[in-house]
Amino acid sequence: MELNASYTSFVAVGDSFTEGMSDLLADGTYRGWADILAARLAVRSPGFRYANLAVRGKLIGQIVDEQVEAAAGLRADVVTLVGGLNDTLRPKCDMGMVRGRLEEAVQRLAPTCKQLVLMRSPGRSGPVFDRFRPRVEALFALIDDLAGQHGAAVVDLYSAPSIADPRMWDVDRLHLAAEGHRRVAEAVWQTLGLPAELDWRARMPATAPP
């Protein structure tokens, strides 16, 4: 992995996890971890360029067809690609198709940027997630394999108990809240080789029972 203290551009590709949901700002817009990361990178690089192409609800095929070519054309220093989880959580999922489309995306994006970042998404225990856990873990194994083949970095949120804390999530239990977004941004920041500003893996302090 090429580590560079100065990144001048960033493009985010994916679904609602990257678009940024449930972290509502005063002006009525949403902010996600990619927005937080971009703001921090911009402080270090005058003229910084940022595009968030992620759209809520997108499956991996839609991400590849609608976002990847545009992202490749921007030739950014950093590209993040997070997708496939929406597919795996559906009752019927063709994992061969997911593998093929994700591989297609990585092969297209990796040569166009300084650093491609993939992600093992966070998971919360529950009947829905637990039902599809083997399929999700197969997706993450594929991500690790593709990263090794193409020199991409992997942010492993799945193995961090801190991100599974209910306080990291919105009431819908599907999207991260403000603290969750802040920690994911920090995790990517550190993966890019930039100096740590907080321990994103640290557990939240205990709170008194209601």
- Of the candidates 121, 160, 100, the residue with the CA atom closest to the CA atom of residue 15: 121
The tens digit of pLDDT for each residue in 50-81 reads 999 999 889 999 999 999 999 999 999 999 99
Between 60-64, 126-130, 134-138, the lowest mean confidence (pLDDT) is in 126-130
**pLDDT 10s digits, 99-116:** 999 999 999 999 999 999
**pLDDT score, position 176:** 83
Task: At 116, give phi and psi (nearest 5°).
Answer: -90, 130
What confidence score (pLDDT) does residue 162 get?
Answer: 84
| pLDDT bracket for residue 121 (50, 70, 90) | confident
Convert the pLDDT of each residue in 171-203 to its tens digit. Answer: 666 678 888 899 999 999 999 999 999 999 888
Radius of gyration of the chain (CA): 16
Q: What is the pLDDT of residue 1?
A: 41
pLDDT at 151: 97
Closest CA to 80 of 164, 17, 172, 161: 17
- Mean pLDDT for the chain? 88
pLDDT at 4 > cutoff 60:
no
Contact between residue 29 and residue 97 where contact means Cβ atoms under 8 Å apart: no
Max CA distance (Å), the chain: 52
How many Å apart are CA 116 and CA 9, to the nearest integer?
Answer: 12
What distances in angstroms separate CA 112 from CA 76, 163, 210, one per listed residue?
7, 31, 51
Q: Are 129 and 169 in contact (CB under 8 A)?
A: no
Strand partners, 49: 9
The full set of domains in the chain, from first to last, is 9-191 (3.40.50.1110)
Rounded distance between C-alpha atoms, residue 184 and residue 201, angstroms: 10
Euclidean distance between CA atoms 121 and 132, whole angstroms: 14
